[in-house]
């Protein structure tokens, strides 16, 4: 499928989505958001895709909201603003809830809503000395929609401070607070991404999907319900085709044949 704001490439079972508005630092406008939602929903439904990599074209990963788009919203009614914000929520939730592992290949700076895209990835690998900021407060607004996902990455104390101050921080600090998982020299970035792709390929695709659900259920359920959920889930997966293949492969001292399930 042809996109105006994205480059989408596939190698075997891995798809790389590249934000492709380098002239505006991959800032998000309505077109980019709609295309990114459409692209992820299409890939989420494709059983042949195992991994999705999200990155940006140019010097920035994503600079947040496009200024021209923000100007157009200045005259929006409350109802129009709510509709627009719901589209933004749909974007983040579509990526966060993807059944596929999503690797953030953070190749450039990220601000505001662009950090929301970082927060919804499962694994984030960045190059050194990038600049990040939750800069909404400098515009008299707040990073409301992304907060659901950011807090799961960095916790309430870090979120409160960084949201209030809008201060800039670098790759190393982003790793320290859990927003980024690895900081890697630029010439080793793709090697590290591929290392994770190989790790994912060696694991059961259904198991990975269920792990993502498991973490989400932990955040949604009370403690006793979650305990019951875990007992039922492990029992279900042990007798599943994938569980049986994985266990038998381990006992037979061979690699599991996930592709035959």
Q: Which domains does the chain have, with CATH numbers?
A: 6-201 (3.90.226.10), 205-260 (1.10.12.10)
pLDDT of residue 232: 93
Average pLDDT over all residues of the chain: 94
- The percent of residues in the chain predicted with pLDDT above 70, rounded, is 99
pLDDT of residue 115: 98
pLDDT band with cut points at 50, 70 and 90 for residue 70: confident
- Mean predicted confidence (pLDDT) in 154-170: 98
Other C-beta atoms within 10 Å of 224: how many?
Answer: 8
- Mean predicted confidence (pLDDT) in 153-175: 98
Q: pLDDT at residue 220 above 70?
A: yes
Sheet containing 109-111: order of strands: 60-62, 109-111, 131-133, 169-170
Extended strands (E) in the chain: 6-11, 14-19, 51-56, 60-62, 102-106, 109-111, 123-126, 131-133, 169-170, 182-183
CA 110/CA 65 separation, integer angstroms: 11
pLDDT band with cut points at 50, 70 and 90 for residue 69: confident
- Mean predicted confidence (pLDDT) in 160-167: 98
Cα dist from 197 to 25, 101, 200, 210, whole Å: 27, 9, 5, 18
pLDDT of residue 68: 80
Q: Helices in 19-141 by DSSP H: which ranges?
A: 30-44, 67-73, 78-96, 113-119
Q: pLDDT at residue 75 above 80?
A: no
Q: pLDDT at residue 13 above 90?
A: yes
- The percent of residues in the chain predicted with pLDDT above 90, rounded, is 87
Phi, psi of 222 (to 5 degrees): -75, 165
pLDDT of residue 169: 98
pLDDT band with cut points at 50, 70 and 90 for residue 260: low
Entry pTM: 0.94
Q: pLDDT at residue 103 above 80?
A: yes
pLDDT of residue 261: 63
pLDDT of residue 124: 98
CA 118/CA 30 separation, integer angstroms: 19
> Which residues 6+ apart lie within 8 Å of 199 measured at CB?
none
Q: Which residues pair with 104 in a beta bridge?
A: 54, 124
First to last CA, the chain: 28
Q: pLDDT at residue 239 above 80?
A: yes
Q: pLDDT at residue 24 above 80?
A: yes
Other C-beta atoms within 10 Å of 160: how many?
Answer: 12
């Amino acid at each position: 499928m042809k996109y105006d704001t994205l480059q989408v490439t596939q190698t075997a079972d891995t798809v790389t989505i590249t934000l492709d508005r380098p002239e505006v630092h991959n800032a998000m406008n309505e077109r980019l958001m709609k295309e990114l939602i459409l692209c992820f929903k299409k890939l989420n439904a494709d059983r042949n895709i195992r991994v999705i990599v999200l990155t940006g074209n140019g010097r920035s990963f994503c600079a947040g909201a496009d200024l021209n788009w923000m100007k157009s919203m200045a005259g929006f009614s409350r109802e129009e603003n709510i509709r627009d914000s719901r589209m933004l929520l749909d974007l983040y939730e579509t990526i966060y809830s993807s059944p596929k592992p999503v690797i953030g290949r953070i190749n450039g700076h990220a601000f505001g809503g662009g950090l929301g895209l970082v927060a919804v990835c499962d694994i984030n690998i960045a190059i050194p000395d990038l600049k990040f900021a939750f800069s909404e407060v400098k515009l008299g607004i707040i990073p409301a929609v992304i907060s659901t996902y950011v807090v799961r990455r960095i916790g309430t104390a870090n979120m409160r401070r960084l949201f209030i101050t809008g201060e800039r921080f670098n790759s190393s600090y982003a790793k320290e607070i859990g927003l980024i998982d690895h900081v890697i020299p630029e010439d080793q970035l793709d090697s590290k991404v591929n290392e994770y792709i190989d790790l994912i390929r060696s694991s059961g695709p259904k198991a990975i999907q269920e792990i993502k659900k498991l973490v989400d259920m932990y955040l949604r359920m009370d403690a006793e319900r979650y305990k019951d959920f875990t007992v039922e889930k492990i029992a279900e997966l042990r007798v599943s085709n994938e569980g049986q293949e994985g266990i038998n492969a381990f006992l037979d001292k061979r690699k599991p044949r996930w592709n035959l399930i």
